[in-house]
Structure 1
Amino acid sequence: MKAADVKKITIIGAGSMGHQIAMLCALAGINTTLQDINKDALQQAELKLQELMNRWVKKSKITENEMETAFSHLHLTTDFQQAVQQTDFVIEAVIERLDIKKEVFRKLEKHAPPEAVFASNSSTIVNSKIAEAASRPEKICNMHFFFPPLIMDCVEVVKSAQTSEETAQLAMGICERIGRTGVLLQKEIYGFIANRILFALSKEAMFLYEEGYADFKDIDLICEKALNHPIGPFALADLSGIDVMYDANMQLYYETGDPADKPAPSIEKKVKAGELGRKTGKGWYNYSTEGGH
């Protein structure tokens, strides 16, 4: 199967990543189904997409007709079986926990067509671990989009030892079809490329903050002014979700058993307090006050 042959794509999970990935596919003219078990999550996703696309129309990024056409290609449902029973390609975008992802892949194996290809949008977990739940490892890969997917022009496509070249090239072709730059990783490694580099930066930033060398705001300022980063590591954690960072660190710890891979105490404290970043109004920075960060 070639990317041009893909008639229907299903996105599992309507969270901050899933609904925007679904919109990318719909904007490309692909019949797209966005599935989530939570009806409220689907309603919120639809409202966010309508608001975002209306802004795009006002900024002349797309026409009103293009927006309406895209929404005509987008279908939302809580019915998992209905979402996948006639799909060609599935992108899983649920919470960054291996047990939950494996459960999704078990259900996909049961209800999706035998020829369907499965991709995980996991930002850290290699697809071979998730593929254990299905009996088609050659048709499984990672497609790691970056947040926010409607803005960020990069997708890490990752092969396991069992991923076929046809599957990898299909995923790369879909990236091209939806207007994103796909980069193919020939081997699996936890965290892939971008996040491994980011983890190293974030870990060092957290060490410097917790040891009292500088305030987190000043560490962000140095990264922005001296290293020319568009956003500092603490502000980036707020943007991505501090809980996402916590889950990623915990998954690495489960794999290595190395206490050094556990989330930093400050991260754990934020998660326990429910201060997860922009999505909760407070993380490292306070977004509930006028202007936020």
Structure 2
Amino acid sequence: MDYKHITVAGSGVLGSQIAFQTAFNGFNVSVYDINDEALDRAKERLNDLKPRYQADLEATQEEVDAAYGRISFYSNLAKAVENADLIIEAIPEIVEIKTNFYKELAKVAPEKTIFATNSSTMLPSQFVEYTGRPEKFLALHFANEIWKNNTAEIMKHPGTNTEVFEEVIEFAKAIGMVALPIHKEQPGYILNSLLVPFLDAAQNLLVNGIADPETIDKTWMIATGAPNGPFAILDIVGINTPYNLSLAKAEAGDKKAAKVAEYLKTEFLDKGRLGIQNGKGFYEYPNPSYMNPDFLK
């Protein structure tokens, strides 16, 4: 593996984390997003990660400043990818947006560039025809808070070159991840094949009036010893993502998902409750009740 320059497309919660983790491990990183306003938000997110790395990884101020210094920002896609050995796409989980992105990317990316999607629910084969390089396209999926939850799921589609697959596994290790190779396409990979049904079940309990978020989280935490319940996890993920996933299922005729999507929209997104990213979701941050020592009593 001879990757030197990595481009991360999409600078939301996870895109920013991928960019910082990659830069922290010595790579030059270009961050691409659609406009300067999005990039300004990315810079804030990246700066907010510095103290997290210092607290959780005992990184020094010099190390986190050096990591930030290896990141550059672009709203011009051609400029963002002109030196890229690997581009990691972390844009919204909406088929049309991803399709259009890959069509544009195929026109401007160098021939050497490998494309990896960080999509948590969609398969590489859904977009492979738009990439112009099926053998150099695969999925590279990270968990949120990747500096701590350092899994990288590397999933090929039937046309991915084996050498490319092996290279991306090596890259994942090089940025401090535990590489988890996935040999066949699976919606949701390993992590979300387990996590999404769990989160769906929790949301259905809430939407159907069975119990409130705190009670559901408390039940799970006490009974299993888990550090977080499903609604704390949803806040960390950001409420836009489960909303988009529920909406897609609703549009495919899933009545339960339609009810969840409507609830998330009216009770959360319309009220500006986006999750941990803006301090308001199912809980209020920085001091959510589930962190209270008495929560599990």
Partner of 2:294: none
Q: Between 270-279 and 151-160, report the one with greater CA deviation.
A: 270-279
- Establish whether residue 28 from structure 1 lines up as the match of residue 25 from structure 2: yes
Distance 1:186 1:60 in 2: 31
The runs of at least 4 consecutive aligned structure 1 residues that moved more than 6 Å come to: none
Distance 2:192 2:123 in 1: 13
Q: Secondary structure at the match of 1:219?
A: helix
Distance 1:53 1:229 in 2: 26
Partner of 1:15: 12
Deviation at 1:142, TM superposition (A): 0.8
Q: Between 48-57 and 128-137, report the one with greater CA deviation.
A: 48-57
1:114–1:63 Cα change, 3 Å: same
Distance 1:261 1:184 in 2: 31
Q: Secondary structure at the match of 1:226?
A: helix
For residue 88 of structure 2, the aligned residue among 91, 94, 113 is 91
- Establish whether residue 281 from structure 1 lines up as the match of residue 246 from structure 2: no
For residue 136 of structure 2, the aligned residue among 139, 151, 171 is 139
Paired residues of 1:102 and 1:131 also in contact (CA < 8 A): no
Give the % identical residues: 32
Deviation at 1:45, TM superposition (A): 2.2
Distance 1:115 1:22 in 2: 20
For residue 157 of structure 1, the aligned residue among 147, 154, 160 is 154
Deviation at 1:58, TM superposition (A): 7.1
Deviation at 1:47, TM superposition (A): 3.1
For residue 44 of structure 2, the aligned residue among 36, 43, 47 is 47
Partner of 2:208: 211
Paired residues of 2:20 and 2:46 also in contact (CA < 8 A): yes
For residue 67 of structure 1, the aligned residue among 64, 80, 92 is 64
* AA aligned opposite 2:273: E
TM-score, normalization: structure 2? 0.88
- Establish whether residue 106 from structure 1 lines up as the match of residue 93 from structure 2: no
Paired residues of 2:56 and 2:148 also in contact (CA < 8 A): no
Partner of 1:194: 191
Residues 183-239 of structure 1: CA deviation (Å, up to 9, x unaligned): 111111222221121121122222333333322211100111111121111121111
Distance 2:3 2:174 in 1: 10
1:69–1:234 Cα change, 3 Å: closer
* AA aligned opposite 1:291: N
Distance 2:113 2:57 in 1: 36
Paired residues of 2:207 and 2:259 also in contact (CA < 8 A): no
Distance 1:21 1:43 in 2: 17
Q: CA RMSD in A?
A: 2.2
Distance 2:93 2:107 in 1: 22
* AA aligned opposite 1:65: E
* AA aligned opposite 1:238: D
Distance 1:22 1:59 in 2: 17
Partner of 2:293: none
1:136–1:87 Cα change, 3 Å: same
Residues 43-69 of structure 1: CA deviation (Å, up to 9, x unaligned): 232233234325644777223333343
1:57–1:195 Cα change, 3 Å: closer
* AA aligned opposite 1:281: G
Query: Which runs of 5 or more residues in structure 2 are unaligned?
Result: 290-297
Query: Which runs of 5 or more residues in structure 1 are unaligned?
Result: none
For residue 251 of structure 1, the aligned residue among 248, 251, 259 is 248
Deviation at 1:267, TM superposition (A): 2.8
Distance 2:282 2:56 in 1: 31
Deviation at 1:268, TM superposition (A): 4.0
Distance 1:267 1:68 in 2: 37
* AA aligned opposite 1:136: R
Count matched residues. 287
1:134–1:180 Cα change, 3 Å: same
Distance 2:73 2:8 in 1: 10
For residue 231 of structure 1, the aligned residue among 216, 228, 236 is 228
Distance 1:232 1:37 in 2: 34
Distance 1:68 1:285 in 2: 31
Paired residues of 1:156 and 1:182 also in contact (CA < 8 A): yes
Distance 1:210 1:112 in 2: 44
